[in-house]
Amino acid sequence: MRTATCFLCALTALLPRAMAAQLDTAWVDRALAAPVQSGSVLRADSEPGRLRLPSEGTALALSAGTTLGLVGLGAIDLHGSANAQSSLLVFTGLYLGPAVGYWYAGSSRWKSGLVIRSVGLGIGAAGFALWSSSDLLGSNSVKGDSGALLMFAGAIVIAADAIHDCAKVASVVREENEARSRVQVLPMIAPDGRHVGLGARITF
């Protein structure tokens, strides 16, 4: 599992940098620290690049890369010898991987995807319990088959929603970026030059 450990370490190191890229508020400090001139008001265009929005490509790369990376590593290990760590990698990739891009972008859409995948997890867990009880009790195969079918259905729900979330993350980030760009909070200096505050500009 050395390869998997390296992948997780790299993800841990890169994700905070990607998330910090959208939180550059240094322009506010620079604007507020600028010399105050009587009768001046900071315009919205006084600081180019003031609003750094999350990147659609970065969000997609984080969601798809985390999901495919963990699932791929788990699948390679499962091919060699099935073990709990490999299964955990595959599960983590499908269950949490798609949400990484939404977390980076500050979008709350990750919650709905996690709810759907949790439903799939519950279906799979119920199927596993049914399958295990039939195997332990040595009962007929109907109970075991039903359990296996539920496990398969749960896996399909999780995988399908993971694919859906990865495919939609770029468009979701684009829509939310457009909404963010319509409302901008700007540092303002009152005409008397003695009061500094924040103002909002709304674009329709």
pLDDT for 48 beyond 60 = no
pLDDT of residue 27: 40
What pTM did the predictor assign? 0.64
Which residues have C-beta within 8 Å of that of residue 201, sequence separation ≥ 6?
A: 44, 183, 184, 186
Q: For residue 43, what pLDDT band results from cuts at 50, 70 and 90? A: very low
- The domains of the chain are located at 2-202
* Predicted local distance difference test score (pLDDT) of residue 150: 93
Candidates 183, 118, 168, 126; CA nearest to 149 is 126
Asked if residue 47 has pLDDT above 60, the reply is: no
Instruction: State yes or no: pLDDT of 45 exceeds 90.
Output: no
Report, as an integer, the average pLDDT of 6-31: 47
Among 62-66, 147-151, 166-170, the minimum mean pLDDT is found in 147-151
Cα–Cα distance for residue pair 158/161, rounded to 1 Å: 5
pLDDT score, position 80: 58
Average predicted confidence (pLDDT) for the chain: 75
Residue 145 has what pLDDT? 81
When pLDDT is cut at 50, 70 and 90, the band that residue 192 belongs to is low
How distant, in Å, are the alpha carbons of 6, 8, 13, 88, 201 from that of 3?
5, 9, 16, 15, 49
Least confident of 48-52, 74-78, 148-152: 48-52
The C-alpha angle 47, 52, 54, rounded to 5 degrees, equals 170
Q: Tell me the residue type at 176.
A: E
DSSP secondary structure string for all residues of 95-156: HTTTHHHHHHHT-TTHHHHHHHHHHHHHHHHHHHHHHHHHHHHT--HHHHHHHHHHHHHHHH
Mean per-residue pLDDT, 71-93: 80
Kind and range of the H or E run holding 192: none
CA dihedral 24, 25, 26, 27 (to 10 degrees): 110
Q: Is the pLDDT of residue 139 over 60?
A: no
Residue 170 has pLDDT above 70, yes or no: yes
